[in-house]
Chain A
Amino acid sequence: MNARFLALEVRRAVRNTRYLMFTVVMPTVMFLLFVNLYGAKGQVFPNGLPVTTSLMLNMAVFGLMSAPLAAGARIAVERSSGWQRQLRLTPLSSLGYVLTKGALGMVVALPGILLVMIVGGLFEDVRMSAAQWVEVAGGLWLATLPFVLIGIVIGLLATADGMQALTGVLSMAFGLLGGIWIPAEVAPGWLSAVMHVMPTYWVKLVGQAPLVGGADLGTAVLVLAAWVLGLGLIAAKRFQTDTARV
């Protein structure tokens, strides 16, 4: 992979106002809104997690989900606009292109996670040890991978027109059905069952694992790995037919 190319791609993505608004600033704004709306300060969930901390984690997941979805979906635009054809006249391989977009997805997911955590720690009394801060941020960031792959799959499958609607619907679905907007604890049984299949639910669990005892990390890793594997296979298959159609 070409580091300079990746850096230029990151710069393009980060400069995008929509990216900054919706994936970096928005989760933090929602976090502040919820904390103060619910008057949740000082309250603690039965599992020992302060409500404020839980809301912070939810919004971090919201942010890390949106950024790579948007970044991957840009592939659809570059496919249809002919920019990809232009890139095929460079030493960059098709695989190198997809890997760069994957790395881009990981990089752009980070600012949203960090901002909401910094605001939580500085202004909303979220308290944890230094090691826990690092573990939570690192765990969340690593667990971004399924969403990076979802973004790439959208980018490889959707048309430039369709991808906007598709990313919107998917982030709604993953958010709502993944327990970001409604906690799994208060959801009706069937919804709770659906939530346990969504990557979003398990990413949140990875995030809170350093803070609560007895989190089912094994299952989280299994479910997320299944998503990564499945999406990876779809992407590889799609990618093959894409490059074969020369």
Chain B
Amino acid sequence: MTQTTALRTAVTLTGLRKSYGDVHAVDGVDLVIAPGEVVALLGPNGAGKSTTVDVLLGLTAPDAGEISVFGQTPREAVVTGTIGAMLQNGSLLDDATVAETVGLVAALHRKPLPVAEALARADIADLANRKCTKLSGGQKQRVRFALALVCDPDLLVLDEPTVAMDVETRRQFWRGMREYTDSGRTVLFATHYLEEAQEYADRVVLMRSGRVVADGSVAEVRATVSGRTLRAVVPGATEAALTALPGVQAVELRGDAATLACADSDAALRALLAAWPAAHDIEINAVGLEDAFLALTASEEQK
């Protein structure tokens, strides 16, 4: 990665590593995000999403690796207002109003948006004089969104932005996001909601155990799991026995109902019927994003 290409990218992470004791939270992540991309960082809890985000924001120092945000270090990007972020569980002030809280953060930035505009963009202009303690979970998230926006960033980073929201608020939130991304801003959001990734991101980066296991458009990620899903009722089967079948990557067993993520469903089916002739209600499907997600994230747990 040369300096000039790093300048032309919004985010460049190279060989990123971060351990907490024996836990490799981030274990060699390489990621390049172009300006204007909306990228979902998808993965189960503990996949390393939040650590990656913290490193990108300069809140955590990596053990190894290079980070560039529009050619700047994370701290430089924060100081120049190039990067804005909405933190998971970020707190608000309990002795200030919404407008005061956003005003306080705006006062610290060099070229902030007018507070009223940040509130309007986050769709909370009507809450300006409300005390932060008197907000619902969804409203608090939108205040945090305003805090992220107020420095007028080129790159917006959101860590699990919709986690406290009900379905309707979530939809509203993403509608607001759309307006923002339509103006050509770069967005990276961490989520464990598949549908959000599918619906709002240009690109999905799937993480598992501190590594990127798939990266591309939703269609491309789905295609990385070239296999199929085999469902069957298999009386007397055990998870271990099913996992040992040829062509099977991951197994989910509920009672007798087995779901097998298969790399080679033909081989798996032959072996399954040979071992359990009584297996019935057999179905084989091409994988959806959800199955791809399960297959890609589950195979590690089996090891």
Contact = CB atoms under 8 A, between A and B. Distances in A.
Contact of B90 (A8, A9, A85, A246): A85
A41 interface: no
Nearest to B61: A246
Contacts of B60: 246
- Interface residue SS majority, chain A: helix
Contact of B108 (A82, A87, A246): A87
A241 interface: no
Which A-B residue pairs are the 5 nearest by beta carbons?
A82-B91, A90-B108, A81-B91, A4-B107, A91-B79
B48 interface: no
Given A82-B90, A83-B93, A89 B85 contact: yes
Interface string B150-183: 0100000000000000000000000000000000
Contacts of A92: 108
> Interface residue tally of chain A, by bracket?
20 to 34
Contacts of B61: 246
A148 to B, nearest CB: 20
A15 B97 CA distance: 12
A86 B109 contact: no
Given A89-B78, A246-B60, A246-B61, A2 B107 contact: yes
Q: Which of A16, A81, A83, A89 has the most CB of B within 10 A?
A: A89
A238 interface: no
A45 interface: no
A237 interface: no
B189 to A, nearest CB: 16
Interface string B19-59: 00000000000000000000000000000000000000111
Contacts of B81: 91
A119 to B, nearest CB: 28
A181 interface: no
Interface string B96-127: 10001001110111100000000000000000
9 contacts: A2-B107, A4-B107, A9-B104, A15-B95, A83-B93, A88-B58, A88-B78, A90-B105, A92-B108
B92 interface: yes
Interface of A: 2, 4-5, 8-9, 11-12, 15-16, 81-83, 85-92, 246
B87 interface: yes
Contacts of A12: 93, 95-96, 100
B226 interface: no
B190 interface: no
> Interface residue tally of chain B, by bracket?
20 to 34
Q: Which of A5, A81, A86 has the most CB of B within 10 A?
A: A86
Contacts of A91: 78-79, 81, 108-110
B147 interface: yes
A89 B84 contact: yes
Given A81-B91, A89-B83, 16 more contacts: A2-B107, A2-B108, A8-B100, A8-B107, A9-B104, A12-B93, A85-B91, A86-B105, A86-B147, A89-B57, A89-B84, A90-B105, A90-B108, A91-B78, A91-B81, A246-B60
B109 A90 contact: yes
B108 A16 contact: no
